[in-house]
Amino acid sequence: MNDSMTIVFWGVRGSYPVTSPASAHFGGDTPCVEIRAGSQSIILDAGTGIISLGNALAERAPQNLLLLLSHFHHDHTQGLPFFAPLYQNTTRLQIMALAKSDAALENQLTQIFAPPQFPVNWTDTPAQKITRRLASNARLDWNPDADAEPIEIHALHSLAHPGGVMLYRIAWRGQAVVYATDVEGYAYADRRLIAFARDADVLIHDAQYTTAEYLGLNGPAKQSWGHSTAAMALDVARAARAKHLILFHHDPQRDDDTIARIVTQTQTDALKITAAQQGSTIALKTLELFQPSRILEGDPIV
């Protein structure tokens, strides 16, 4: 069996989806990341990237799925109404997020799925749906396949984004991925996040703004808007001793050339730095990066 955890990027764009050819290389769908470990997987966020993931999953029914939401901003939930497994009665979908109660979480979802915003009600979708609130520092195991080694999930509630956001650390067989999107960097970096991301193999971190944008040198200053610069992401990655920093939640106005330039400008000998690319897959054990064209051709993940 494959003993490497793998990350599949289905959506990497922040704020809203883009279709510009100038952004096609890194991709235009909003956040959705799949973490695969052995025979099991976890879905992080339900931006428009989850639509393609759902279309792939729908061919593999029945499904026992877990979706972890970072928060309820539109770009992290807008793909859910078009998630094909929701319309299959063979699907069992657990959704977890920070909430006051399981019922409060379900209520959030019913607001996404309700006329006049959407023609189908949440409760009318055929899948079995289980909503479960997460406490601010939740810790749980995910093993729908009882014979498989569980995937460990750690959550951390951060207030470095308007309304708050949940960060996740996913660990399996000694490998760890930290998903920290929609977070704004603190001066000298967020000490809680550094501890949370300590020694992670991969840190996926918000890097929406350039430093000039953040400081307001070419428009309104973005301080307190809840997003980071690549330099802020690097501060956290370095302090946490993460092995690979993946810049994520690209600004919708950012073209491919500029993202590539940001990666080059952020490079350091201390760790590997790349930008999240829609359709790419990363195997943690080898940190090997496969190009999207290969994945779209249906190559097996190794």
Shortest Å distance, C-beta 58 to Zn ion = 25
Shortest Å distance, C-beta 12 to Zn ion = 11
Stretch that binds Zn ion, among 9-17, 53-61, 170-178, 190-198 (CB under 5 A): 9-17
Residues 27 to 86: which contact Zn ion by CB under 5 A? 73, 75
Residues 75 to 114: which contact Zn ion by CB under 5 A? 75
Shortest Å distance, C-beta 76 to Zn ion = 6
Shortest Å distance, C-beta 45 to Zn ion = 8
- Note whether 250 binds Zn ion by CB under 5 A: no
DSSP secondary structure of the chain: ---S-EEEEEE-B-SS----GGGTTT--PPPEEEEEETTEEEEE--STHHHHHHHHHGGG-SEEEEEE-S---GGGTTTGGG-GGGG-TTEEEEEEEE-SSHHHHHHHHHHHS-TTT-SS-GGGSSSEEEEEEE-TT-EEEE-SSTTSPPEEEEEEEE-SSTT-EEEEEEEETTEEEEEE-S-PPPTT--HHHHHHTTT-SEEEEE--B-HHHHHTTTSS--TTSS--BHHHHHHHHHHHT-SEEEEESB-TT--HHHHHHHHHHH-BTTBEEEE--TT-EEETTTTEEE-HHHHHTTPPP-
Stretch that binds Zn ion, among 80-88, 167-175, 180-188, 269-277 (CB under 5 A): 180-188
Nearer to Zn ion, 48 or 175 (CB): 48
Stretch that binds Zn ion, among 11-19, 231-239, 252-260, 289-297 (CB under 5 A): 11-19
- Note whether 182 binds Zn ion by CB under 5 A: yes
Shortest Å distance, C-beta 75 to Zn ion = 4
Nearer to Zn ion, 119 or 162 (CB): 162
Nearer to Zn ion, 85 or 226 (CB): 226
Binding mask 112-151 for Zn ion (x = CB under 5 A): ----------------------------------------
Contacts 24+ apart (CB under 8 A), 73-77: 73/163, 73/182, 74/16, 75/13, 75/14, 75/15, 75/16, 75/30, 75/31, 75/47, 76/30, 76/31, 76/45, 76/46, 76/47, 76/181, 76/182, 77/45, 77/46, 77/47, 77/112
Nearer to Zn ion, 38 or 47 (CB): 47
Nearer to Zn ion, 17 or 54 (CB): 17
Shortest Å distance, C-beta 173 to Zn ion = 30
- Count the residues of the shown chain that bind Zn ion, applying the rule CB under 5 A: 4
Shortest Å distance, C-beta 200 to Zn ion = 21
Stretch that binds Zn ion, among 144-152, 178-186, 208-216, 233-241 (CB under 5 A): 178-186
- Note whether 184 binds Zn ion by CB under 5 A: no
Shortest Å distance, C-beta 221 to Zn ion = 18
Which residues of the chain form contacts with Zn ion (CB under 5 A)? 14, 73, 75, 182
